[in-house]
Structure 1
């Protein structure tokens, strides 16, 4: 994997997982917990998320082939899904939905939020799983590059863990306005990456050359 490909993979997963947006949600879901309890919840959520994303990264292409779905078709569909996620981020619908999910768990302190909703759908959501298939699908023929994709995924989850640890001071530093600004900037970046996925899918399906020839 080249340096630019590694950066693209990292940025894609970072924007989709959105560690910065997860930090205040993590605080809400673990309200009243001690630092040790928060650490356990965060580690468990990250372990489950890593397992899900690894599963889709390793076997996602086989699942697609078993269903008769080509990789270019999934790139186009995945790009559309990521674009919808970007729209949610730009218009704050994603934050509102996440806050709604967290409020469902605030009143019951016996609920362990590590698997749901933290691990899925907040960390390893549909967008993240689709991104793993898209990023790993193009490198399925190379074991080394496939490992590199998963190392990038682990680095993003490492960022999530660091932000979980720093969630409280980050929330105080950014405030709600700062978090909204960062979320919208990441949404714009994700929209551009989603468009690139769609273009790659069209190119892989042979549609882009046909469009160029028709001009």
Structure 2
């Protein structure tokens, strides 16, 4: 189970990319005080976790309702994860997320209600799609397909996502210090290295999907 936990932790950490989200979180919450930032961070991570758990247990039912088999989903999911890795390597993902967050922030500023704005930021864009986006949803479904045959395996995968989201909340709450300590250059370097790891994992996922359809021998 330790191997499963480590594998799931690496994948979720790469896909959610909490370090890369720190500058975006700072931009979204720069006008709020420290207490409000903590509320947004915790609420956003809890909502993201609820979404991930939902797709962990009901995602396959959605696929079945659409007559999509898991091997096909593995191939499509692997391709999506590979695209995310490509964006990480060439800094496109951070730019896209920052642009989406900026657009959402401007929309919320027009409403004028601070409490409503806090709730909205936690849900969109922080929880969806910055943390529980297509990549995280695809990852949890693929992980549950691979390791979810036993209750222990399911709990291990869910625990991995919970640990990464908990770490994300901690990083968000200490976002100012994290950005100063690491610096933008180191954040981008870590993102690119993780992108290479994700590309390899995505390739393996595509291969497992193809071999499920066309078994060797």
Normalising to structure 2: TM-score of the pair?
A: 0.90
Counterpart check, 1:91 vs 2:99:
no
Structure 1 residue ranges without an equivalent (≥5): none
Contact 2:11 2:198 in 1 (8 A): yes
Give the conservation status (yes or no) of the 8 Å contact 1:72–1:205.
yes
1:111-122 equivalent positions in 2, closer than 5 A: 111-112=117-118, 113-122=121-130
Q: Contact conserved, 1:85 with 1:94, CA < 8 A, in 2?
A: yes
- 2:18 aligned with 1:27: no
Equivalent position of 1:135 in the other structure? 143
1:13-55 residue CA offsets vs partner (Å, 9 max, x unmatched): 1100001001111111001211110011111111110111000
Cα separation, 1, equivalents of 2:148 and 2:195: 28
**Paired residue total:** 208
5+ residue gaps, structure 2, are: none
- Map 1:1-215 to 2 at 5 A: 2-107=1-106, 108=109, 110=114, 111-112=117-118, 113-207=121-215, 209=216, 213=217
Q: CA RMSD in A?
A: 1.5
Larger deviation, residues 174-183 vs 123-132: 174-183
Q: Give per-residue Cα distances to partners, 1:60-106, cap 9 Å, x unaligned.
A: 11221222111111111100000000111111111111221232245
Q: Alpha-carbon deviation of 1:139?
A: 3.5
- Shifted more, 37-46 versus 143-152: the winner is 143-152
Moved over 6 A (4+): none
TM-score (norm 1): 0.91
- 8 Å CA contact 1:83–1:195 kept in 2: the answer is yes
